[in-house]
Copies of this chain bind each other. A is one copy, B any other.
């Protein structure tokens, strides 16, 4: 890495910058209005006695947070405990310096330490740069699985009728 960047565990004070990165990715994924959580929600859920997620951040020597990898535990009924990488984000004007690779490596090394049997995440099929990155570093992209969701309105509609 040519820039002076450290990768470290995210702290409460980083959450405003983590939220900005989340919103930047949502704009890139054409879902700018989809982010309904706020800084306090991140703090309450990420720094409780039973945290809902963990995060690594990339910090430059001027203390700017320029990237993050946010993840949490999942459970595969085939393999057992796994880790899910929810977001891997580097600020657009800080790409191309290896920061994404450094965050990805930090996450994967942590997963290996935790002895999980699988790591996983999701990618948009038109995000060819991300897909090429993941394949280059040894991950498998599955073409035959589809993600299914119910949002809050769909859940309310179903449970009101059922």
Which residues of A come within 8 Å of B, CB atoms?
Answer: 22, 25-26, 31, 34-37, 41, 45, 50, 52-53, 70, 72-81, 84, 86-87, 105, 108-109, 111-112, 116-126, 131, 134, 137-152, 154-159, 162
Contacts and interface: CB of A to CB of B under 8 A. Distances in A.
Which of A138, A140, A144, A152: most chain B CB closer than 10 A? A138
Contacts of A125: 143-146
23 contacts: A35-B78, A36-B117, A37-B78, A41-B80, A45-B75, A52-B75, A52-B81, A70-B75, A76-B86, A108-B150, A108-B159, A111-B155, A118-B155, A119-B149, A119-B150, A120-B149, A123-B146, A125-B143, A139-B149, A140-B150, A140-B151, A142-B146, A147-B147
Nearest to A131: B146
Nearest to A81: B52
A148 B162 contact: no
Given A26-B78, A37-B78, A77-B22, A148 B141 contact: yes
Copies of this chain held together in the complex: 2
Contacts of A143: 125, 146
A126 B126 CA distance: 22
Contacts of A147: 120-122, 141-142, 145, 147
